[in-house]
Structure 1
Amino acid sequence: MNPIELITFGESMVLFNPGKAGALRYVQHFHKQIGGAESNVAIGVQRLGHQAGWFSRLGNDEFGKFVLSTIRAEGVDTSKVIVDDRGPTGLYFKEKRNKRDVRVTYYRKGSAASFLSPDDLDESYLKQATCLHLTGITPVLSPTCRSAALEAVRIARQNGVMVSFDPNIRYTLWNSSDAKTTLCAIASQCDVVMPGLQEAQFLTGKESPRDISSYFLEQGVSAVILKLGEQGAYFAVKGHEQFVPAFPVDDVVDPVGAGDGFAAGVLAGRLKGWDWDEAVRLGNAVGAMVVQTDGDVEGLPAFEEVERFLQKPAADVSR
């Protein structure tokens, strides 16, 4: 196996994707898939040509075996995954009222992943990576998960590993004041912060991309990348800021997972040694491709597919 360039950890679950649009009470058939913000990024980076590693705790059940075998089949290193008898593998259901209204219901309380703790971190494993990627989902799952996230950041910083952070706020799980305090504390210790615009406004109390970026840069963050949805993305590093336009998409099939695809594209670009504008453009392209496919990981492209996508005229990039 090639050296592991990106490592991430957090809960991955079995996704039940409805066979038709409408309220779940009218749906009779579902497609069984997987999803999880961190494993989505790991799979995305792997498909873009870089070795990724992901770990978590999974229930000692058939769903856990399904999650593990699916992620492992993508080439992602899963050697540090722990099978836990104390809790089940989490589940979630998508509800597609229409293409622009996709709702998600989670069944994750007491899941195996909620038992993640600092004791599950292998320092020698983490420090080999070029990048550690975290999201704001893991710290809210339990106090031990929060401690694990903070300890992972400490290990990475101590060993010169770049730390990437996507707040990915699950508002239904957080107390508002706790979210701001915890996530801003984590962000201030990271090299790259990639929030959505509304998330960033919530965390910083600032409104404009420039003011938001200044807030994080003053905290010691090296690069701030704001996801602006259909408009594209804005990034700022010391001495430079730039807006990178999105790629137009005619038919949004499933918007869930687009942010993870974006993060995978940005991080893969940086692992390739690209400048920030090129990496963010790659993130925009991957995000645009993801939303055109049903499922969290099914639309994550191989690098050669993105290259073909980027070569098409602007009017044709959605086809």
Structure 2
Amino acid sequence: MSALICGSMAYDTIMVFHDRFKNHILPEQVHILNVSFLVPELRREFGGCAGNIAYNLKLLGGDPRPMATVGKDFQPYAQWLSYCGIDQTYIRTVDESYTAQAYITTDMDDNQITAFHPGAMSFAHLNTVPTKRGIKLGIVAPDGKDGMVQHAEQFVQAGIPFIFDPGQGMPMFNGEELLHFVELADWITLNDYEAHLMQERTGLTPEQLAEKVSALIVTKGANGSLIYTEGKTLEIPPAKPKAVLDPTGCGDAFRAGLLYGLKEEFDWPTIGRIASLLGAIKVETAGTQNHTFTPSDFHDRYRENFGHGF
């Protein structure tokens, strides 16, 4: 049984500026800003929420089916997905567009300047959640706005339970629109900042949001996560990474862990720990799809971190 992952596929172009932005941006001159940064370090990574979640779920032994719209430049990414054994049935190419692109420049203080081109992602609404294809559950991750709304509604119509993960797409929605997702979703996952923003926009506390779904999962970075379910709040401890190199994509790895645990019908303490460990493994490697492990390795790391297996 597979998991349908609705979200973006993107190229991440990451550049490192060997200085500090503050040394070159004069506050009193920002109205005539014209700066150039020499970036001797550059790498291009495969990214996007759907791609990252699918990659991590595949490592766990799951059967991810990413559903996304991509552009005419997608071939290198398609070859990578084929190499990873990830199904591409529900990836649609929009020939007149480029695949979504993020251009990220980081300075020595870890400040970032990012330019994002949505490209083909804006056509996400052209995809439709399939029915009767052996799909057990799904996730609506950041994507084109219309696509996110339609896919949530289509999951309900198809009788497929799904996770709502607004992530970086949250600024696109007002309180009423977010409440519509809440009414449709089976589970919601947010980071700590997004949880505060969700409360501000909907007027609902985490406890009140949790009453409307089977579970609300709130990640708290190095402090673990909270799972609100059945009137209880479960505290999930963080897993310990062997090194901290790059947090980019940790949230997507965590969500892959949720999907895997839900598909296997584990209890919430186990699901939360699987997701926590997957995020910790990701942080050990630069880039969002460069870490690797075997299922046996993962089970060993789980025992090392939590003192028991699953």
Q: TM-score range by the shorter chain?
A: 0.7 to 0.9
Q: Determine the structure 2 residue equivalent to 1:15.
A: 12
Gaps of 5+ in 1: 139-144
1:204 aligns with 2:210: no
The normalised TM-score by structure 2 is: 0.84
Within-5 A mapping of 1:89-100: 89-98=99-108
Checking the alignment, whether the CA contact within 8 Å between 2:45 and 2:287 is kept in structure 1 is yes
Checking the alignment, whether the CA contact within 8 Å between 1:92 and 1:104 is kept in structure 2 is no
Deviation at 1:295, TM superposition (A): 0.2
Q: Percent identity?
A: 19
Alignment counterpart, residue 215 of structure 1, candidates 205, 208, 213? 208
1:108 aligns with 2:117: yes
Give the residue type in structure 2 aligned to 1:40: N
Deviation at 1:40, TM superposition (A): 0.8
* 3-state secondary structure, aligned to 2:135: coil
Deviation at 1:104, TM superposition (A): 5.7
Alignment counterpart, residue 261 of structure 2, candidates 262, 266, 269? 269
Q: Determine the structure 2 residue equivalent to 1:141.
A: none
Residues 75-110 of structure 1 show CA distances to partners (whole Å, capped at 9, x for unaligned) of 221112222122112222333335x8363623314x
Checking the alignment, whether the CA contact within 8 Å between 2:5 and 2:139 is kept in structure 1 is yes
1:76 aligns with 2:86: yes
Superposed CA RMSD: 2.6
Alpha-carbon distance in 2 for matches of 1:212, 1:72? 42
Deviation at 1:280, TM superposition (A): 0.4
Checking the alignment, whether the CA contact within 8 Å between 1:14 and 1:33 is kept in structure 2 is yes
Name whichever of 15-24 and 32-41 sits farther off: 15-24
Residues 48-101 of structure 1 show CA distances to partners (whole Å, capped at 9, x for unaligned) of 01101012222113xx11122222322221112222122112222333335x83
Deviation at 1:25, TM superposition (A): 1.9
Number of aligned residue pairs: 290
Alignment counterpart, residue 131 of structure 2, candidates 116, 124, 132? 124
Checking the alignment, whether the CA contact within 8 Å between 2:17 and 2:107 is kept in structure 1 is no
Checking the alignment, whether the CA contact within 8 Å between 1:187 and 1:221 is kept in structure 2 is yes
Checking the alignment, whether the CA contact within 8 Å between 1:286 and 1:300 is kept in structure 2 is no
Alignment counterpart, residue 289 of structure 2, candidates 297, 300, 315? 297
Give the residue type in structure 2 aligned to 1:133: I
Gaps of 5+ in 2: 21-35
Alpha-carbon distance in 1 for matches of 2:174, 2:293? 32
Q: Determine the structure 1 residue equivalent to 2:57.
A: 45
301 and 189 in structure 1: CA distance in 2 versus 1, 3 angstrom threshold: farther
Give the residue type in structure 1 aligned to 2:262: R
Structure showing greater Rg: 2
